[in-house]
Structure formats: structure tokens, C-alpha cells
């Protein structure tokens, strides 16, 4: 292979002086060394062939070999400046440090010389550095500061298959940079079979990038795995319940690890074990039980993001001769981007922590879920990289088969506030026009843009403001970044920096109490003190520089909190800064619902973990709240994971834009009542009954009428009768007779009901209001004088009685006026009466002497001529005292009995 022994190109007068990497030595024993000629063949930076995708299983050596190969290609073939670097991203800090350390050892150079790394709070690089390993966040901020990436000759995006949010953003942004810099080499590396998708994306073949000649080349290699023995040892109990991972399952994992490792040591004393569990708490619990079972002959190490970097590096380093056998208990951190030497046994819980966003409750956090099948395979492969291995899966094959094929892309489920700000600063608001592997969800993106507008970080168009660009340069969530700048002027730069570093870091608050964690960090008792202290120094420097930072742009407060005379006690400093960052999460204990239930200003209820030192505090500033069930959630459906106490005054100062002081009038039980309420978002600070003015009461009456209709006042019998008569006339004659249907009356309230509504608004009761007179205001003039003629209230029948006419409901389009009268009162009446100028015949309900219905007719003549005889035959024996003449035409109409006629 031409690049392995090259010492430069003597034919080029300006050949770089720096020596190439010895790939033959570096690649000794690594499977990917066999694929280097293929990769070299498809990359020719001098002629524009400067992009590729590498697909190789974990452990093949791609992370170790691809960067120095690129360095040699650029040294010998491309017109790169001697100081140009190869940037390699690793999704985790421990992976970046480990990869840089390993390559430096293989190169025979010191760490920080030709090979170095930069992670948050730590950098080992120098002027001679050629290959620099960084985390994605570091490269994102560099891109925002220098979109052209001057001084960078190539970028290698490792572990793109993990679909981390920042790596996805880098893929889209760097694909765009290649349009401007045809000399920039880009290589994406994946451990799974989705490499063709990334090749199409980088090459613009899918159309989303809008450029390119099609997919870039994909270079692969065979697996590096030795034979692997897969065993299934499911636990007799559940893995997960409403509280999360069950203790019994963790005990099963720990016992399985201790027993299986002891068995393996009898065969291979050099074998180490790697145990995968979902989170830091589970790592500690399992490690503690293994120590109690394995004895002093085995060293048990923990590996997760919250431990000290030195402990992380120790866990991923191979053991020396004479060292004890090791069991490393890890989160998914060791799944694919790290090689842990000496591992021949993997114990897999089959669980992982993945980000999930709860749009309904306005919260996001990590949820424990079944890991994907691809993740399970990568975990298993850790046992067979250096020799035959064994994996014990603490679940059954059915559970494995039901797991998702791949890990859910973080962009699909995570909070997108920080990502949206990056896109806005890049000039692609909402990701528009950017070749991203997946389109961000619209709802999540809209919510993120709303938060950023509230912060003053983006304009209405989505473009970043100067303040937004400042916030994007701070290594923290934009809300925390804004709180750092605003809070430093109130509580001081140091306390503000301590709080932001505390919340932004990977620190676990015992019992959700951030103040206790802060005390432990300040005293040095917490293992993460060194990393936290470095973050604090950096944040404090940013806070001091931020005093002069640009502030134009829409702000969520009338002025930044630091510009107002806010007096915050030292005891409230942590809670105040958290409240500035997350005002919607300021919480107050719910009276009468127990000391552990809280109402957030957003309206969400959440519980404190059982036994939390924060229990009983009246006010909390919540930094993290996640969806949960069980005891810790206290029946609310959410649990507070990290918070700090604060006073009501500090809460009001932090979230002053959420403070409201309103008088709310309500129409209840026929009368307007009112209360004056002072609120902090959804939290009621005070509520006092007051007497509303007529003007204040009007909206309450209007809302009641709009919601419940005219039924809130009610129609008296007289008003109901008048309305029905008017409705029939309008139905038959139309204008100018008014439409008195419910919808029509509600639409014209001011024309007929204004005095009564004003009276109700001023405090009058509906009991004193009759709608008869208001309805008369709708009568047309001079037609109103004909109302009794067109729709009389009563009808004179042959007996001399005046019988009330029942008019149909106003909403009944086919209803008829009805007269219910005893049959005997209508003898001799042949012609059916009509109303509304003879248009509508009256419908008769002919009744028995007991006023029970005998017949219904609107044709009296036909009734007397036919059905009457049948009625007479049935009724004269039942009612013998009443007349039932054989000839109803000549009989005298009467309401009396025969004896009184």
C-alpha cells in the first residue's frame, strides 16, 4: 500500500515536511487494514474525490486506521497546508480520549503531539497536531464560529449509525460545506448496514442536498469477530415496572455476571467481563452486588458519563500482567465507540436509556426502553474481538425479536431547542434546505422555535439574533445559556456559573436535590468535582464576557433580569438561576395533596422521589422532570429528577413575565361573581372575592350566554308563548317578522336584550328578568298590531270556552299549532280553524272527559263523519254522564255533564 512507507513526494518542490503515519505498524493485527487499499483507491483529494462512507463492524480498527490514512493522502497527494488537521468526531468524551490515546501509542508519539483530542473542558493538542479527536458538540461550535473550517483538511464522522442529534446536524452541515470547499474531505463511518443511506445523503443523490453526482463510494470490510456463544438467561421477574428497572432484575443481572465470570475464569484466567445496564444508577447497583458476590479476587469497575474521566479511562484500558480479572459494568457508552481490551464475556440486560419528548406535558428526558437489535448485536460483539467469546442475554428470544431493528434517531424524539438554534445560526432555520438524515418533527421544531423566540435568540422569521449567536457559543442548553448571562448580574458570575455547570453536566442529584449535589461538588466529595470545576471556570469566563454581549432581539422579559433591581438571597441563588432557565418549571407544593406533589407553572403536576430532602419545600425550581408512574410520581404521571428550593419572591423574580394580576368574573347560579387572582403561570398565588363593575361583569355574562345559550336566563311561560307565536309567523310570512330561533336571538343580543344583560353584569339575578318584554322589542311596526290576529293566544270553541293554542317549538320547521280540547266542546264544528292568514290549520287533540287523548285531527268534518262513531261506541259506557249523541252535527257543544246542561 503506497501510503504505508511513504516519506513524502520528492517530485513536488513544496512537499510537506511532516512525516507520514506508518500504517503498516499501526494496522498490525487490525482487520480494517485489509480495506485500506480500497479506501485509498476511492479517495483522491487532488482530483475532487474526497468523500466516502466506511462500513465496518465494531472492533475492526476503522477508528484507528482511517484518520492516519487520510493524513497520509493529504500529505502526499493534496495541496493541504502543513498545519491542516484531520478532525475525527466521537459521540462520547471517553471514546475521544481513548481513541486519541491509542493512536498516539501506536504512532509512537506523545498524546497532544501529532495526535490529540479536545472534549468539553479538556484539550490535549498543539501546533504539530495532525489528527484531533473531538466530540460532535465541539465541532458544531467550531463550524458556527468558522463555517469554512479553515485549517481543517478532512473530517471523519464516526459512529453515524448511532443517530445522535449532533452527529446528524454535522452530517447535514458538512455536506453543505463541501459545496463551498471542494478540498474538504468528508468520511462518515458506520458500524451497521445503513451505510448506503449516508452515502446517498453526502453525495446529494436523494435530492435533499440539491447537489452532487450521486452516492459517494462505500468501503467495507469483513467482521473481526471470533466465534461467539450466545445464551439466553431470562430473569424470573419483570425487567421493568411502573418504577423503572426492577431491583430483582438488576440482582439477576449481577448474579449472572458474577457466576458466569467465575466459570469462564476456570477456562481462561485472562478473561474480563462487560455488563450492560441502562443508566448510572443501575451501574452502581449492579456493581455493588457483583462486588459482594465475586469477592476480592475480581476488580469491579464502573463506566458511565458521570464518573471522573480518570476512572473512565481506567475502565477502558487493558489490564497489565498480574492485575486482577475485571468486570466492567457500563451503560451503552461501551457499546460501539469504545474497545475494552480483554473482554471475553458480555452480560446484556437488553435495556437502554433513550431521549423522549413529552409534548403534552412540555418535558423531555431519558426513558428506559428495550435496546434495538442492532445495539444488542454490537454489545455481543464486544466479547469476540480478541478471541472466542460468550454473551449472556438476560432476556428471552421473543423479547429480542420484538425489539426495534435500529435505535430511534435522536432527532425524532428529543427536545430540539439547542439543535434549532444551531440551525438558525447556520442559516437554515428549521433545517430548511439542509441534507439531514431525517426531517425534524414539525411539532417539536415549532415548540423549539417558540422557546427561542421567547429567549430572544431568533427572530419571527427563524433567523438567529446576535443574542442567539452568543447563546449558541455557550456549551449548554440555550435556556441555561440565557440564564447564565442574566443570572450572573443578580447572584454573581460564580454562583450562576456553578448552577449552569451543575445542570448542564452529567451529574446525578441524590433525591433530586441539586443544592446537596452542589455542596458535595464544592467540597470535593463528589467524584465529578474536577470536571464540574473545569466547567464552572469556563462558564464563569463566559458570564463575565457576556456583560458586553449583544442583547437586541425579542426577549422573553421586558429587560434581562440582571438589569432590574432584583434582590435574591444567597440561599435562593441556585433556584433563581434554574428558574431563569426554565420558568415554566417553577413549582409550588399543592395544598392538601401531600408534601411530595407539586404544580408547575406550565400546569403540569409532578411528584418528588420518595425520601427526597426537598419534600415539603413550598417552592422548587425544577431543572429536570420526566414522565413516570409509581410511587415517585405520587400519582401525577411525572417525577421531578433535579430541582432546588427557592422562595416565592425569588420565583416571582425569575419568572416575572409569567406573573399576572387579573380580576376574573364568572356567571354562576344566575348571578355574576368575581375574584381577583394573582398567578405565576398556572400557579395561583392569591385569590380574593371582589365586587365587579358592570363593565367587568359583561364578559362573564357574554361567556355564559355564548356557552349555555339563553337557557342561562330562561323563558317564562309568557315569554315562551310569545316566542313560539313569533316563530310561526316568521316561518310562514318571513320578513319583517323576526327570526327568534336560538342562533338568531344570540346574534342580535344588543337589539333586544341589552338592558337586561347590563343589569346582569351589574349584579342583578336572572330571577328578576322576564324575556317577554325584551322579545316585544323585536316586533316590527306597524305589523305588530296584527300579532293577535295572525297568531292568537286562544281559540274560541263552540262550547264558548277560550282554549289556549300551543304553538310549535321555534326550531321545529314542520310544527303545527295545537289545541287540546274535550271532544264534547266541539260538537257541530265542521270547518277546521286556521291561523297566520289561513295558512296553517290548527291540529286538534280531542280529549275524553278525563282529558285523555281520543283522536288527533286537522279535519273535523271527516272526524264527525267517520271515526267519531267508533270513539262513541267505546266511550259512552265509560263516561255515561257525558253526552255522546249519535248525531254530533246537531248536538249542542258543551263542557258540562248531561245533568247540568
**pLDDT of 307 higher than 80:** no
Q: Where are the alpha helices (DSSP H) in 309-433?
A: 309-316, 373-381, 397-402, 410-413, 417-426
Q: What is the dihedral of CA 604, 607, 612, 613, to 10 degrees?
A: 50
- The alpha carbons of the chain give a radius of gyration, in whole angstroms, of 41
Q: What is the pLDDT of residue 458?
A: 94
The C-alpha atoms of residue 6 and residue 20 are separated, in whole angstroms, by 7
Q: What is the pLDDT of residue 362?
A: 59
pLDDT single digits (tens) 109-128: 999 999 999 998 789 999 99
Cα-Cα end-to-end distance for the chain: 132
Average pLDDT, the chain: 87
Q: What is the pLDDT of residue 631?
A: 62
Output the CA–CA distances (angstroms, integers) from residue 866 to 292, 344, 536, 640, 829, in the order listed: 104, 105, 104, 83, 14
Percent of the residues in the chain that have a pLDDT greater than 70, as a whole number: 91
Q: Which of 46-55, 97-106, 321-330, 363-372 has the lowest mean pLDDT?
A: 363-372
Q: What is the mean pLDDT of residues 587-614?
A: 89
pLDDT single digits (tens) 875-884: 988 999 999 9
**pLDDT of 43 higher than 70:** yes
pLDDT category, 10, cuts 50, 70, 90? very low
- Answer whether 328's CB lies under 8 Å from 343's CB: yes
Q: What is the pLDDT of residue 364?
A: 66
Q: What is the mean pLDDT of residues 170-191?
A: 91
pLDDT category, 8, cuts 50, 70, 90? very low
pLDDT category, 5, cuts 50, 70, 90? very low
Q: Which of 76-85, 287-296, 582-591 has the lowest mean pLDDT?
A: 76-85
Q: What is the pLDDT of residue 637?
A: 75
**pLDDT of 603 higher than 80:** yes
Q: What is the mean pLDDT of residues 610-614?
A: 90
pLDDT single digits (tens) 857-869: 999 999 999 999 9
Q: What is the mean pLDDT of residues 28-34?
A: 90
**pLDDT of 553 higher than 80:** no
The C-alpha atoms of residue 657 and residue 679 are separated, in whole angstroms, by 11
**Can you say whether the dihedral through the CA atoms of 159, 161, 167, 173 is positive or negative?**
positive
pLDDT category, 216, cuts 50, 70, 90? very high
pLDDT single digits (tens) 786-797: 999 999 999 999
pTM: 0.74
**pLDDT of 90 higher than 60:** yes
- Is 80 strand, coil or helix? coil
Q: What is the pLDDT of residue 629?
A: 62
Pairing relationship of beta strands 51-55 and 131-134 according to DSSP bridges: unpaired
pLDDT single digits (tens) 352-410: 988 777 665 556 667 888 999 989 998 998 888 888 999 999 999 999 999 998 888 99
Amino acid at each position: 500500500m503506497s501510503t504505508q512507507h511513504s516519506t513524502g513526494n520528492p517530485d513536488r518542490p513544496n512537499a510537506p515536511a511532516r512525516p507520514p503515519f506508518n500504517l503498516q505498524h499501526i494496522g498490525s493485527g487490525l482487520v480494517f487494514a485489509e480495506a485500506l487499499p480500497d479506501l485509498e483507491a476511492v479517495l483522491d483529494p487532488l482530483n475532487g474525490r474526497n468523500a466516502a462512507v466506511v462500513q465496518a463492524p465494531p472492533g475492526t480498527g476503522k477508528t484507528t486506521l482511517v484518520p492516519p490514512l487520510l493524513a497520509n493522502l493529504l500529505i502526499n497527494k493534496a495541496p493541504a497546508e502543513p498545519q491542516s488537521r484531520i478532525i475525527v468526531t466521537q459521540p462520547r468524551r471517553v471514546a475521544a480520549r481513548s481513541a486519541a490515546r491509542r493512536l498516539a501509542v501506536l504512532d509512537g508519539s506523545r498524546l497532544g503531539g501529532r495526535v490529540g483530542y479536545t472534549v468539553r473542558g479538556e484539550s490535549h493538542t498543539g501546533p504539530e497536531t495532525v489528527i484531533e479527536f473531538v466530540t460532535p458538540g465541539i465541532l458544531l461550535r467550531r463550524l458556527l464560529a468558522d463555517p469554512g473550517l479553515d485549517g481543517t483538511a478532512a473530517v471523519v464522522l464516526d459512529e453515524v449509525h448511532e443517530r445522535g442529534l449532533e452527529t446528524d446536524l454535522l452530517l447535514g452541515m458538512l455536506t453543505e460545506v463541501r459545496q463551498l470547499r471542494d478540498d474538504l474531505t468528508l468520511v462518515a463511518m458506520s458500524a451497521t448496514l445503513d451505510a448506503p443511506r449516508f452515502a446517498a445523503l453526502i453525495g446529494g443523490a436523494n435530492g435533499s442536498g440539491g447537489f452532487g453526482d450521486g452516492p459517494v463510494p462505500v468501503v467495507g470490510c469483513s467482521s473481526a469477530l471470533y466465534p461467539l456463544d450466545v445464551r439466553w438467561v431470562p430473569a424470573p421477574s419483570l425487567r421493568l415496572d411502573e418504577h423503572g428497572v426492577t431491583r430483582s432484575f438488576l440482582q439477576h443481572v449481577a448474579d449472572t455476571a458474577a457466576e458466569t465470570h467465575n466459570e469462564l475464569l476456570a477456562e481462561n484466567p485472562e478473561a474480563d467481563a462487560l455488563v450492560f445496564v441502562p443508566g448510572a444508577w443501575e451501574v452502581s447497583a449492579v456493581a455493588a452486588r457483583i462486588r459482594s458476590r465475586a469477592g476480592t479476587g475480581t476488580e469491579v469497575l464502573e463506566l458511565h458519563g458521570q464518573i471522573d474521566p480518570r476512572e473512565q479511562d481506567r475502565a477502558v484500558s487493558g489490564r497489565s500482567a498480574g492485575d486482577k480479572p475485571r468486570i466492567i459494568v457500563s451503560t451503552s457508552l461501551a457499546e460501539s465507540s469504545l474497545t475494552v481490551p480483554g473482554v471475553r464475556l458480555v452480560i446484556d440486560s437488553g435495556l437502554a436509556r433513550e431521549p423522549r419528548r413529552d409534548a403534552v406535558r412540555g418535558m423531555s428526558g431519558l426513558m428506559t426502553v428495550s435496546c434495538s437489535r442492532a445495539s444488542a448485536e454490537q454489545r455481543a460483539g464486544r466479547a469476540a474481538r480478541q478471541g472466542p467469546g460468550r454473551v449472556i442475554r438476560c432476556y428471552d428470544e421473543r423479547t429480542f425479536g420484538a425489539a426495534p431493528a435500529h435505535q430511534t434517531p435522536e432527532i425524532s424524539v428529543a427536545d430540539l431547542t439547542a439543535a434549532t438554534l444551531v440551525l438558525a445560526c447556520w442559516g437554515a432555520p428549521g433545517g430548511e434546505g439542509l441534507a439531514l438524515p431525517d426531517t425534524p418533527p414539525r411539532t417539536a421544531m415549532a415548540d423549539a422555535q417558540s422557546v427561542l423566540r421567547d429567549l430572544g435568540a431568533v427572530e419571527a422569521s427563524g433567523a438567529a439574533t446576535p443574542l442567539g449567536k452568543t447563546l449558541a457559543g455557550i456549551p449548554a442548553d440555550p435556556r441555561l445559556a440565557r440564564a447564565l448571562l442574566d443570572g450572573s448580574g443578580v447572584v454573581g458570575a460564580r454562583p450562576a456559573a456553578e448552577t449552569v455547570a451543575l445542570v448542564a453536566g452529567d451529574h446525578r442529584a441524590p433525591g433530586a436535590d441539586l443544592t446537596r449535589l452542589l455542596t458535595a461538588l464544592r467540597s470535593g466529595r463528589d467524584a465529578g468535582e474536577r470536571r464540574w470545576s473545569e466547567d464552572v471556570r469556563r462558564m464563569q469566563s463566559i458570564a463575565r464576557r457576556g456583560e458586553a454581549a449583544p442583547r437586541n432581539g425579542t426577549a422573553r422579559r421586558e429587560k434581562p433580569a440582571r438589569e432590574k433591581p432584583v434582590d435574591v438571597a444567597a440561599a435562593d441563588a441556585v433556584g433563581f438561576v434554574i428558574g431563569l432557565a426554565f420558568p415554566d418549571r417553577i413549582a409550588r407544593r399543592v395544598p392538601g395533596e401531600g408534601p411530595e406533589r407539586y404544580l408547575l407553572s406550565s400546569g403540569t403536576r409532578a411528584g418528588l422521589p420518595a425520601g427526597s430532602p426537598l419534600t415539603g419545600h413550598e417552592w422548587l425550581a425544577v431543572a429536570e422532570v420526566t414522565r413516570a408512574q409509581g410511587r415517585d410520581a405520587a400519582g401525577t404521571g411525572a417525577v421531578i429528577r433535579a430541582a432546588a428550593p427557592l422562595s416565592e419572591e425569588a420565583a416571582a423574580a425569575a419568572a416575572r413575565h409569567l406573573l399576572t394580576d387579573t380580576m376574573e368574573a364568572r356567571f354562576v347560579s344566575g348571578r355574576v361573581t368575581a375574584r381577583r387572582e394573582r398567578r405565576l403561570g398556572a400557579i395561583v398565588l392569591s385569590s380574593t372575592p371582589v365586587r365587579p363593575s358592570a363593565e367587568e361583569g359583561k364578559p362573564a355574562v357574554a361567556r355564559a350566554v355564548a356557552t349555555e345559550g339563553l337557557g342561562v336566563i330562561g323563558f317564562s311561560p309568557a315569554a315562551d308563548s310569545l316566542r313560539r307565536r313569533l316563530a310561526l309567523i316568521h316561518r310562514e310570512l318571513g320578513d319583517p317578522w323576526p327570526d327568534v330561533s336560538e342562533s338568531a336571538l344570540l346574534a342580535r343580543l344588543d337589539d333586544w336584550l341589552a338592558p337586561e344583560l347590563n343589569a346582569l353584569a351589574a349584579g342583578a339575578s336572572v330571577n328578576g328578568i322576564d324575556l317577554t318584554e325584551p322579545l316585544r322589542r323585536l316586533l316590527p311596526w306597524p305589523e305588530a298590531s296584527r300579532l293577535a290576529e295572525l297568531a292568537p293566544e286562544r281559540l274560541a270553541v263552540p262550547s264558548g270556552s277560550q282554549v289556549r293554542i300551543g304553538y310549535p317549538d321555534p326550531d321545529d320547521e314542520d310544527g303545527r299549532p295545537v289545541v287540546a280540547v274535550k271532544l264534547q266542546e266541539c260538537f257541530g264544528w265542521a270547518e277546521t280553524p286556521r291561523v297566520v292568514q289561513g295558512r296553517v290549520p290548527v291540529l286538534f287533540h280531542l280529549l275524553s272527559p278525563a282529558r285523555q287523548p281520543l283522536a288527533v285531527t286537522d279535519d273535523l268534518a271527516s272526524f264527525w263523519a267517520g271515526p267519531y262513531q267508533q270513539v262513541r261506541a267505546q266511550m259512552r259506557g265509560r263516561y255515561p254522564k257525558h253526552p255522546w249523541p249519535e248525531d254530533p252535527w246537531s248536538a249542542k257543544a258543551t263542557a258540562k255533564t248531561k245533568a247540568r246542561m
